[in-house]
Structure 1
Amino acid sequence: MDAKDMADGLEKVLVTEERIKARLEELAAEIDADYAGRDLLLVGVLKGAVMVMADLARRLHHPCEMDWMAVSSYGAGTTSSGVVRILKDLDADISGRNVLIVEDVIDSGLTLSWLVGNLRSRGPESVEICTMVRKPLALDIELDVKYVGFDLPNEFIVGYGLDYAEKYRNLPFIGTLAPHMYQR
């Protein structure tokens, strides 16, 4: 799927596929340097992090393991309920491990903050965060994010793992939907 497949549904491209690839190379180099000689467990947050985690892992130059979590604070709505539920937990024991949470986007940061606390309670050596997109103007909580792909405005974005109604995750870029696509 690409921009022409979206017809009038795409308002604008914010981050091109080429910029994403270049930034992933830079992030992988930083992560390789920071974790040289140390084990690394990438923990992807489903579903959005699938694209980021796969592409990032392929660019790393030292071995890493991967695991997945799915958490929800939204229920059936579009705003956070404030109650976080684990829908899929890790398969691996993380005690004594270096954990790098991989996210697609950080909006308010509330769910991710809860997740960091939950993982830290399991006795890892370290827990850090890598996200493709951070929306600084949407943050409701201070959150230490070690690796950030792009800081973007607080707009509704899709592509590269980000969805609207489970669609558009497979766009190779990050863009905004035209308002008529989500305003009913």
Structure 2
Amino acid sequence: MNQPGILIESSYIQEKVSSLGKQITEDYRGKELLLIGVLKGSFIFLADLARKIKLEHKIDFLRAASYGNSTRSSEILDLNFLMKESIEGKHVLLVEDIVDTGKTLNKIYESLFSQKPASLKLSALLVKEKVHRFAYPIDYPGFFIEDHFVVGYGLDFAEKYRHLDYIGILDENENPHPS
């Protein structure tokens, strides 16, 4: 197994997360903020971002998957809300690892909107700028990237590479099941 080539170094990620945390702190001062992380890919980004938000907030999770063992987004979507309490009337910040096609996020947003939060915004570490078709604004974007299959900093391929402290591009030869 080869190490993925570096696309975004760890130091740049940490600078961006600090900047996002500062902006979110300013925007949500005086409001009851609930961060909802989309598992599994966002967990590292969420943990780092939560520590950079300098106001009290709650954290919850939901699970959504559309990849499996392929490097292409699939039509199959598994959505499992793990949240224990209602989001009605709360200021919700959805924390996502990557906006790829936007299909997963569109479905999540529709479901969350139906629960009547006071506000619903999105922070995504990565945005594939030429392929995403997300119907809503990306309020707190991290990095805009080309259409590569990326891993690291929580993102995986077949549960590998999540532990990397940088964002890397997966070698196409690493994918045993190309679509």
TM-score (norm 2): 0.91
1:105 corresponds, among 98, 119, 125, to 98
Q: How big is each residue's C-alpha offset from its partner over 1:70-128, in whole Å with a ceiling of 9 and x where there is no partner?
A: 023456765422x5432343112100000000000110011101101110110110000
Aligned to 2:74: 80
Matching of residue 54 in structure 1 with residue 47 in structure 2: yes
Aligned to 2:84: 91
Gaps of 5+ in 1: 1-5
Matching of residue 42 in structure 1 with residue 48 in structure 2: no
SS of aligned partner of 2:130: helix
RMSD, aligned α-carbons: 1.8
2:129 corresponds, among 132, 136, 142, to 136
TM-score (norm 1): 0.89
AA aligned to 2:48 is D
Greater shift in the superposed pair: 88-97 or 36-45: 88-97
- Structure-2 change in CA distance of 1:79 and 1:11 (3 Å): closer
Identical aligned pairs, as a percentage? Answer: 35
Contact preservation (8 Å) 2:60, 2:82: no
The structure where helix makes up a greater share of residues is 1
Aligned to 1:3: none
Matching of residue 169 in structure 1 with residue 128 in structure 2: no
1:20 corresponds, among 13, 18, 22, to 13
Gaps of 5+ in 2: none
1:160 corresponds, among 153, 160, 168, to 153
Distance in 1 of aligned mates of 2:149 and 2:64? 20
Q: CA deviation at 1:11?
A: 4.7
Contact preservation (8 Å) 1:41, 1:98: yes
Aligned to 2:61: 68
Aligned to 2:143: 150
Distance in 2 of aligned mates of 1:141 and 1:54? 24
